[in-house]
Chain A
Amino acid sequence: MQIIISNYSKEPIYEQIYTQVKKHILTNELQPGQSLPSMRQLAKDLDISVITTKRAYEELEKNGFIYSVVGKGSYVSEQNIEMIMERKMKVIEEQLMTAIQNSKEIGVELSELRELLTLLYKEEA
């Protein structure tokens, strides 16, 4: 897992950690049940204070991305991840539906739409 912290960003450091860990979880790079480094270890490795990593982990836990076991550490959550993925999929479906409806209105073909999607998808990456 890679986490890059910028000390000069406007975004607070704990938020940078939160966003990046969340991304790693949503892209399945961190898998459900996998253990995360301890708050103190992460703080040391990133050369930041413990309370910053603590805050990031608290936020991640509050939003259901991870859970912690007292005396053991933090792990990537299972059910909640699926729920989040499901929710996201639903949003994507809805948005695609709108795109499809708009396409139909002005007569854009499926192949054209697919091409456009591919193009945009690649650009975004």
Chain B
Amino acid sequence: MENIIELQGVNKSFNGFKLQDFTISVKRGFVTGFIGGNGVGKSTTIKLIMNLLQPDSGTVSIFGLDYKNHEKEIKQRIGFVFDENILYENVTLNEMKRIIKPAYKNWDDALFNQYVEKFELPLNKNIKNFSKGMMMKASLTIALSHHAELIIMDEPTSGLDPIFRRELLELLHELMQNGEKTIFFSTHITTDLDRIADYITFIHNGEHIFTKEYYKIEEEYAIVKGETNLLDRDTEREFIAIRKSNYGFEALTGNKQRTEEVFGDAAILEKPTLEDIMLYTKRGKDKYVESHS
């Protein structure tokens, strides 16, 4: 089974916001970074994957199983981290462990203690006195202590200092060593993804824009810079969105090779960042909506 997560033709209206005919898949044994602006449906998607929300129509299947008949079986194999603290605040980490441990068949105390030690977490201090970073480490410790095959994280790095973010990425690298685990995590700190993400899934306004191998993005997309006189009706069509100024233009193309052929040496082509792609895609979509309404 190649795909660990599969959403097929999912529709969901929720809080004045819509996922429409939404189809994504997440490959086994890899890290998929889930990107998109605020309020475009990242958390909704994660909640659909966790069965915290049910789709209005379409199917959600995890490990090839559906939630209707295999809810507990699926959740046994998932480790999760949310961006808000979901642990009880008035208990210690040790007490929290005792609450969660019996839920999992594969809970591993030795593994739990190993992470507690690694993260230097206090076992007997109330969780409400934890710093944001410690809370995150505590959630992660719990998520990793039952040998989950699929780790789902919603904005795990938000509000964390750069040093811990790097340590977290190192930890993720370690987790990926045996090839059995799959990680799916949303983030808007796209630089985290450079070092770890194998696939990027990008959504905008409830629509799946693409899921691609990370290296393919730089093969296909490019930032193009040149003088404004290069632009006309035909050449403008090459771009997802264009930003013009008095000094020239900057644009994003999704077909680097063809753009290279069209412009030759007249324009400069640069490697785009994920942020470039997010920004220009949003602009392109907004303009599209404008010109068609």
Which residues in A have some Cβ–Cβ distance to B below 8 Å? Answer: 7, 10, 12-14, 40-41, 43-44, 47-52, 54-55
Contacts and interface: CB of A to CB of B under 8 A. Distances in A.
B215 interface: yes
A43 B176 contact: yes
Interface stretch (B152-160, B189-197, B224-232): B189-197
Contacts of A13: 215
Given A13-B215, A41-B177, A44-B174, A49 B196 contact: yes
Contacts, number: 47
B66 interface: no
Q: Which 5 A-B pairs have the closest CB atoms?
A: A51-B198, A44-B173, A49-B198, A40-B177, A47-B195
Given A40-B177, A44-B176, A50-B176, 14 more contacts: A10-B271, A12-B218, A40-B176, A40-B178, A40-B179, A41-B177, A44-B177, A47-B169, A49-B196, A50-B31, A51-B198, A51-B214, A52-B215, A55-B213
A14 B219 CA distance: 12
29 contacts: A12-B215, A13-B215, A14-B215, A40-B176, A40-B177, A40-B178, A40-B179, A43-B176, A44-B170, A44-B174, A44-B176, A44-B177, A47-B169, A47-B173, A47-B195, A48-B195, A49-B195, A49-B196, A49-B198, A50-B29, A50-B30, A50-B176, A51-B30, A51-B198, A51-B214, A52-B198, A52-B214, A54-B198, A55-B215
B202 interface: no
Interface-centre pick from A40, A41, A44, A51 (highest chain B CB count, 10 A): A51
B199 interface: yes
